[in-house]
Structure 1
Amino acid sequence: MAPWLQLLLLLGLLPGAAPAPNEPRAAGAQVWELASPELLEPARFALEMYNRGRAAGTRAALRVVRGRVRRAGQGSLYSLKATLVEPPCNDPTVCQLPVSKKTLLCSFEVLNELGKHMLLRRDCGPVDTKITDDKNETFSSFLPLLNKDPLPQDFSVKMASIFKDFVTTYNRTYDTKEGCPLEPISVLPSYLGSHHPGLAPLLSLAARWRMSVFASNMVRAQKIQALDRGTARYGVTKFSDLTEEEFRTIYLNPLLKEEPGKKMRLAQSIPYLPPPEWDWRSKGAVTKVKDQGMCGSCWAFSVTGNVEGQWFLKRGALLSLSEQELLDCDKVDKACLGGLPSSAYSAIRTLGGLETEDDYSYRGHLQTCSFSAEKAKVYINDSVELSQNEQKLAAWLAKKGPISVAINAFGMQFYRHGISHPLRPLCSPWLIDHAVLLVGYGNRSATPFWAIKNSWGTDWGEEGYYYLHRGSGACGVNIMASSAVVD
């Protein structure tokens, strides 16, 4: 392995893929003593997600103590309680917060839906002794966590203060979900002025775990910051208390890199030298930033944003269109579990158009399709795939309107402002997992950028927008560019 790849792996930033079913597993990366054979696959998946990106020799081993499964339609939700053993970590530059102990006590929730596993929850903390299978499903199984401080001994007052500000800013409330009553994090402020030894018992298990996740994320954001070649700034965002797995599962779209999608015809290149800068926001072709909520529906927002721009350019009216219609009525894509722009265009044509946001409002979860052809205000005639040449993309955008694209969302969990330009190995164009909308381009202090409309609300990024380096194929921005066609 090249030295720079080893460095990225040690820093914990190199994206890692779970091993294939027939791939030999590293020593220690295994599941044993399962309470039921039915738990084998979800337990293996939970362990693979926990070990994702870890080098051989640093991967943990898992022992499932007990678990249960709940059926819901075509899906199954597995709740697992387990001890997890990590090998010793002797390099402080590799060990991430919270400081790893030899044995951790973990609670996982794994959803198996449509033949695919998704990790919905992972709560882990240190424990001194193994848990025996006493078949007692009460919260008492997790008392060792409540009686120990899961934070590092040198957890700084500054980090605690930053976390307190985060909780206040984003109105966070945490619940253990293990039988304890809801305990607002607002009990924290009086105790965060100093590293008070009595602080930990005042916090719920979930709050203490989230504080550890937050601290770990701040370390990760600093690493991303140090390696970024642009002007972007990374740090506290509304997603800072989510683990990487949670963020990916809730907000991103794995189908973009897993499925090729419906083949579209290639649009003809425009023989046009694009101007040095362009911004459709200033020309009335872009609606306000929307929020997809806790749903992997970015594909629908990317497509409606493109169609909104196409309709404006052809008909002169800017209408905010319904993403919920696509979630409910597009039977090829998978609603909050992800989708592809190419399939969404086809669904719009098959349905006969799109209703407006006012007529078919967004709910952020799958519902029964209630599309009414009489209420459709917009239609499309076709869809096209665009060139991967960024100069040609700029020309097409300036002449034809905003473009639906897909990108690798590396670092976006902690993005605050500026032009992002991650190292290519960190933001591989072949691992795209988020659909967005190109609305313009330009330069800031001689740094070329794409202006990108995101769908995570105006309280993320630059009032909901993301700026990505232009001209280097950064994060695969040029790999899956497309547009609807309105005649």
Structure 2
Amino acid sequence: MAPWLQLLLLLGLLPGAAPAPNEPRAAGAQVWELASPELLEPARFALEMYNRGRAAGTRAALRVVRGRVRRAGQGSLYSLKATLVEPPCNDPTVCQLPVSKKTLLCSFEVLNELGKHMLLRRDCGPVDTKITDDKNETFSSFLPLLNKDPLPQDFSVKMASIFKDFVTTYNRTYDTKEARWRMSVFASNMVRAQKIQALDRGTARYGVTKFSDLTEEEFRTIYLNPLLKEEPGKKMRLAQSIPYLPPPEWDWRSKGAVTKVKDQGMCGSCWAFSVTGNVEGQWFLKRGALLSLSEQELLDCDKVDKACLGGLPSSAYSAIRTLGGLETEDDYSYRGHLQTCSFSAEKAKVYINDSVELSQNEQKLAAWLAKKGPISVAINAFGMQFYRHGISHPLRPLCSPWLIDHAVLLVGYGNRSATPFWAIKNSWGTDWGEEGYYYLHRGSGACGVNIMASSAVVD
């Protein structure tokens, strides 16, 4: 393995850094004592999440003591009690300080919904440590649960203060046990954000955001769209290139073609927001009226896509044509979960005639955007959980164009201090990023921004 790949693996930033289920382990590394075979997969998943990013010699082994399962909505919620053994580690490239073998007692909660696992809770402590429910506990009681990376001595105290500010800023409420867990997640995320910051080649700044108390798995499951990389989607005709030298900068926001930033909430509906944003721009350019269109109509009535579990822009365009148009946000308001379709053809205010796939050449994309309007694109959302402002430019192995998982809207492009960027309208509200916008390096195919570009056609 190349040295730089080993570095990313050790940092825990390389996609797929978690051990595969069938990866060889040392003898006795994994022993299962299960009340039911049904607990095997959730226990394996909990262990993989715990070991995510750890090098081979430092991964923990897990022994389930007891477990139970109960139904939760359309899925199953698994509660596991387990002992977890972390091996001794004396490798200075991994541990930096000698670490002796230790045994922890852990509680895990794993949700399995529609075949996908999500780690909802991880609460680990020394086997001789009693976990209480004392409601008078202070932040200092959470400190031993911080990420075990070698950190400055005063890191725990500073992190407790930062976490307390986060809780106040974003109006979080936790019970005592969840506060412990979220504090440890938050601290791990701050370490991860620092690593992303150190490796970014742009001007972006990463740090505390409204998503900082979510695990990577929770964030991916709730807010991202795995279908973008898992399914090919409906083939669209390729748009003709425009023989046009684009101006050095362009911004459809200043020209009235972009509605305000919206918020998809706890729903993987980015595909619907990307498409409605594109259609809003197309309608404005052809008809001169900017209308805020209904994403909820697509969640409820597009029977090919999967509502909050993800979808594809190509299928959404087809659904709009099949339905006969889109209603406005006012007439068919957003709820952020699947409902019964209540589309009314009489209320449809906008229609489209076709949809096209656009060139992967970024110069041609800029030309198309400047002439034709905002573009629906899909990107790899690496680092976006902690993005605050600036132009993001992750290393290509960290933000692979073949692992796209989030649909957004290109609304402009330009340069800041000689750094070229795409201006991207996101759908996570105005309290994320630069008032809801994301800026990504232009001209390098960063994060696959040029891989899945498309647009509706309004005649």
TM-score of the aligned structures, taking structure 2 as reference length: 0.89
Distance 1:265 1:387 in 2: 11
**What SS class does the counterpart of residue 449 from structure 1 fall into?**
strand
Per the alignment, residue 171 of structure 1 pairs with: 171
Quote the residue 1:247 is aligned against.
219
TM-superposed deviation, 1:383 = 1.3
- Tell me how large the CA RMSD over aligned residues is: 4.5
Task: Tell me, yes or no, if structure 1 residue 360 matches structure 2 residue 335.
Answer: no
In structure 2, the CA distance between the partners of 1:148 and 1:339, relative to structure 1 (3 Å rule), is closer
Return the alpha-carbon distance in structure 1 between the equivalents of residues 90 and 254 of structure 2: 54
Distance of aligned partners of 1:134 and 1:166 in 2 relative to their CA distance in 1, 3 Å threshold: closer
Query: Measured at CA, do residues 143 and 212 of structure 1 come closer, stay the same or move farther in structure 2, by a change above 3 Å?
Result: closer
Give how far 1:303 is off: 1.0
Secondary structure in structure 2 of the residue aligned to 1:271: coil
Q: Distance in 1 between matches of 2:97 and 2:172?
A: 21
User: In the superposition, relative to structure 1, how do residues 25 and 351 fare at CA in structure 2: closer, same or farther (>3 Å)?
Assistant: farther
How many angstroms apart in 1 are the aligned matches of 2:259 and 2:428? 14
Cα drift, residue 336 of structure 1: 1.4
Q: Which moved further from structure 2: 28-37 or 370-379?
A: 28-37
Deviations 1:425-476 (CA, angstroms, capped at 9, x unpaired):
1111111111111100000000000000011111111000000000000111
In structure 2, relative to structure 1, the CA distance for the partners of 1:445 and 1:139 (3 Å cut) is: closer
* Structure 1, unaligned runs of 5 or more: 179-207
Cα 1:454–1:97 change in 2 (3 A) is farther
SS of 2:286's partner is helix
Which stretch shows the higher mean deviation, 128-137 or 29-38?
Answer: 128-137
For 2:98 and 2:213, how far apart are their aligned partners in 1?
13
Contact 2:273 2:295 in 1 (8 A): yes
Contact map agreement 1:83 1:131 (CA 8 A) in 2: no
Alpha carbons of 1:436 and 1:90: their partners in 2 closer, same or farther (altered >3 Å)?
farther
The 3 A distance-change label for structure 1 pair 391 and 246 is same
CA contact (8 A) 1:326 1:335 kept: yes
1:70 deviates by: 3.1
**Which region of structure 1 is more displaced relative to structure 2, 12-21 or 313-322?**
12-21
Task: Tell me: CA distance 1:152–1:134, structure 2 relative to 1, closer, same or farther (3 Å).
Answer: same
Structure 2 residue runs without a partner (length 5+): none
Whole-angstrom distance in 2 between the partners of 1:261 and 1:282: 33
Once the two structures are overlaid, the 10-residue window that deviates more, 165-174 or 419-428, is: 165-174
Deviations 1:292-312, CA, capped at 9 Å, x for gaps: 111111111111111111111
Offset at residue 339 of structure 1 (A): 1.3
Deviations 1:133-166 (A, max 9, x none): 9999999999999999999975443322222221
Note the alpha carbon deviations across 1:93-139, whole angstroms, 9 max, x for none. Answer: 75699999833333333333333434444444443379999999999
Closer, same or farther in 2 for the Cα pair 1:426/1:141, shift >3 Å?
closer
Aligned partner of 1:199 in structure 2 is none
Q: Call closer, same or farther: CA 1:41–1:423 in 2, change over 3 Å.
A: same
SS of equivalent residue, structure 1 residue 219: helix
Going from structure 1 to structure 2, the CA distance change for 1:132 and 1:226 (only over 3 Å counts) comes to: closer
Quickly say closer, same or farther: Cα 1:93–1:158, change in 2 above 3 A: farther
The aligned counterpart of 1:346 is 318
The C-alpha deviation readout for 1:328-373, integer Å capped at 9, x for no partner, is 2222222111111111111212222111111111111122222222
Structure-2 separation of matches of 1:109 and 1:131: 16
Q: Which of 298, 302, 311 is the matching residue for 2:274? A: 302
| 1:19–1:25 CA contact under 8 A, matched in 2 | no
Secondary structure of the equivalent of 1:339?
coil
Q: 1:409 to 1:14 in 2, by over 3 A?
A: same
Distance 1:462 1:74, change over 3 A: closer
Contact 1:234 1:417 in 2 (8 A): yes
Aligned partners of 1:6, 1:18: CA distance in 2, in Å? Answer: 14
Separation of aligned partners in 2, 1:135 and 1:417: 37
Once residues 355 and 442 of structure 1 are traced to their aligned partners in structure 2, the CA distance between those partners, rounded to angstroms, is: 33
What corresponds to 1:43 in structure 2?
43
SS in structure 1 of the partner of residue 160 of structure 2: helix
Residues 38 and 374 of structure 1: is their aligned pair in 2 closer, same or farther, counting only changes over 3 Å? same
Asked if structure 1 preserves the Cα contact closer than 8 Å seen for 2:241 and 2:364, the reply is yes
In structure 1, how many angstroms separate the alpha carbons of the residues matched to 2:290 and 2:42? 46
Alignment partner of 1:219 is 2:191:
yes
Report 1:455-474 matches (<5 A): 455-474=427-446
**Alignment CA distance shift 1:94-1:355 (3 Å):** farther
Query: What is the rounded CA distance, in whole Å, between the counterparts of 2:329 and 2:151 in structure 1?
Result: 45
Identity %: 100
How far did 1:74 drift?
Answer: 5.3
Determine if contact 1:308/1:320 at 8 Å carries over to the other structure: yes
The 3 A distance-change label for structure 1 pair 350 and 316 is: same
Alpha-carbon spacing, 1:171–1:278, altered in 2? closer, same or farther (3 Å): same
Q: 1:335 aligns with which of 288, 302, 307?
A: 307
**In 2, distance between residues paired with 1:392 and 1:243?**
38
Q: Is the 8 A contact 2:147 2:188 kept in 1?
A: no
Shift of 1:406: 0.9
Distance in 2 (alpha carbons) for counterparts of 1:296 and 1:101: 40
Contact 1:18 1:52 (8 Å CA) reproduced: yes
**Alpha carbons 2:143, 2:156 under 8 Å: kept:** no
Deviations 1:4-59 (A, max 9, x none): 11111111211116666666567676461111011222222333333333332222
